[in-house]
Chains A and B, each alone.
Chain A
Amino acid sequence: MTQRIAVLVEHLEGQPTDVTFELLGLARRIANTDGASVQAYLFGERVGHLAESLPADSVTVVEHPALHHLAPEPTARVLAALLPADLPRLLLVPNTSLGMDVAAWVAAALEWPLVAYCQALEHRESRLVATAQLFGGKILADVTLDERPTVIAALAGAFAADAVNPGAPGQIERRDAPAELAALRTRSVVLERPEAADVDITRAEKIVAVGRGIESKDNLELAEQVAQALGAVLAASRPLVDAGWLPRSRQVGKSGLKVKPKLYFALGISGAPEHLEGMKDAELIIAVNKDPKAPIFGVADYGAVADLFEVSEALLERLEG
């Protein structure tokens, strides 16, 4: 039997997410080298119609009300029920909020190896090597895969969605909902959109973003002054929002918002992978950070290894002067 590279299709409100196509692109590249085929797992309540839009050789569809929003327990249980018979070479799952709950659960339940935070997956001398981003993006871990079926939790935005074969739609295979779905211990699942925020940072042309380097809530005032002087809005990395210093509507990154302003001025942001995911496509990135090794300098156009307070004061003197 031809080996398969399987992908869990992530979708939200009736649309496959971008990362789904990135993983299908990755699966296609691996499959082409290995002579394997690409299999998509499409779970949901009424999602069968999405199957034709997926660039896969086969699409395995399971429809059940409990799978409506791809909640952790039902999604993981269906995969764990199907995988031991399907035995794909790889199962690619997005390392997103929805995906991480499924990837780790399935891998642990089946005792399959798992590589999370995967940012690269390639052949090296006929072996597959997965590269994971660890320790806040400061260290990469190469993992040479053995012959066992392996779960890969892949970072969104790390793989190109191209190289897919749009050709004929894949073969659609409907499967009955596994018996496990009758005994779920997850009850209701409801999605909520955020309430209208005071500021929509995704529409801002200029953003001043602050990170941990700002040190205290009191110092936000200085950053706010810089933002005002530049005609920018103030945004933040996750730790500041988690600390309650700024509302969630101001959070840039994987669990926050993706922004693409003309200017992204990062003050005291080290640039954890989750943050970079949300801002690396900004047109002009200028970063000020004390740590010359901060990963933010890897995506910034201009950087200054300096004290953000001194630079902010100097900017204010000149702009307000």
Chain B
Amino acid sequence: MSASQAAPSQARNLHRFANPGRFLRISGTVLPWLAAIGLVLSGTGLVWGLTLSPSDWQQGDAVRIMYVHVPAAWLASFGYANLAAASIAGLVWRHPLADLAAAEISPVGAGFTAICLATGSLWGKPMWGAWWVWDARMTSVLVLFFLYLGHIALVRAFDDPQRGARAGAILALVGVVNLPIIKFSVEWWNSLHQPASITLSGAPSMSPAMLWPLLLVAVGAMFGFAALVVARTRAGVMERRIRALLLARAREGDMA
């Protein structure tokens, strides 16, 4: 098959899943599973982290803030990467659901970024003696929060939803440059924030008794994030259908 034949068939496959009716059917089946898995995994991990995992020899029990702070930080970046992917799908393939998904990802991403910033501040006060410092990691996460807020505002700033989605997508793609800055900020600059304890290339520098509950919460929170975005996108699809029906009825009324 030539490249020219492959591209339209790829686009057709993508659009097969973009049918709103099909999305509502599939997501209706998937959503309870996403929510249940997210709830069970993160609930188990949080109870484990709060009651059974050991306290830190240096930080005492304040280390337990890690079980909400770190998953929120991972989800803040993960959510933005998904926002960028949805923006590409919306800009390049004009995927009908991608714009809607992007508009629903940004409030959830902003929420998790706010959790990350608030819990980081609550962890920083007893450990560093300050609620906030203009540290590279913290500042770059604050910029991520503002990017999310900017996306939320921009998408809703136009009368024509398509123009709003396009402007939001461009902002989302420009903001992707912030993701590697967040990741590597603790290596590139002198930082109060500790470097990553878990990396893809090396063994974790953390006790397994802390690592397992952290991973449980992180995986559970990822399912929870997906469940929230799917639930919001389902509501968005139905709201769009309501607007279209009302508009059609109003036009019929005008014609009569």
**Is this pair of chains taken from one and the same complex?**
no
- Using a CB–CB cutoff of 8 Å, the interface residues on chain A facing chain B are none
- Using a CB–CB cutoff of 8 Å, the interface residues on chain B facing chain A are none
